[in-house]
Chains A and B, each alone.
Chain A
């Protein structure tokens, strides 16, 4: 079974803090994704990566950066957390083709005070 894990289930941070969210997958997937999910807005893509050291902006990259130094690990960084970044953050991974399913991690619920 595909396993995608995220470093924290719940996180509380203060405005202005630098926040690191980590995601690890064990299926040797090429693609990894970071989404945020907010009520009524669905899943919105923040960043994705098709390979090590590669990254592409999604729909809402502002205020975020990512790092993919190893194939299995994809990190999301909030450079200076703000209250409007309070959300559920979901990591996903998939194989290389258009036919490939995305598998999700358990999510991190982030509260920025």
Chain B
């Protein structure tokens, strides 16, 4: 089992729709979770982080964490073509304080 798993996509949504990106992780003791956005040819940039169970909202983005299910998601409301990118889930592993990244989900928002 991979330490951090994401559906590679591509995920395609129409402009204005909600995009839902999912991530599962293996280390039950993990405590910090991050979502990065990476445009083609660019380096990852942080969108959000979440530490506590539940939802965390920042503008059009909502991160959701369920530690019991070892699941973290990112919702993008009112998706825009400029949101088209690869989204990386990252988890700080409790056992060795290492950050582990998923392989990323490629999102395309169609006008």
Contact = CB atoms under 8 A, between A and B. Distances in A.
Asked if chains A and B come from one complex, the reply is yes
Nearest to B86: A42
How many chain B residues sit at the interface, stated as a range, is: 20 to 34
B45 A40 contact: no
Given A42-B102, A43-B88, A43-B101, A99 B46 contact: no
Contacts of A12: none
Interface residues of A, number: 19
A91 B97 CA distance: 18
Interface in A86-104: 90, 94, 98-99, 101-104
A94 B49 CA distance: 14
11 contacts: A35-B101, A42-B104, A43-B101, A90-B43, A99-B49, A101-B46, A102-B90, A103-B46, A104-B43, A106-B42, A106-B43
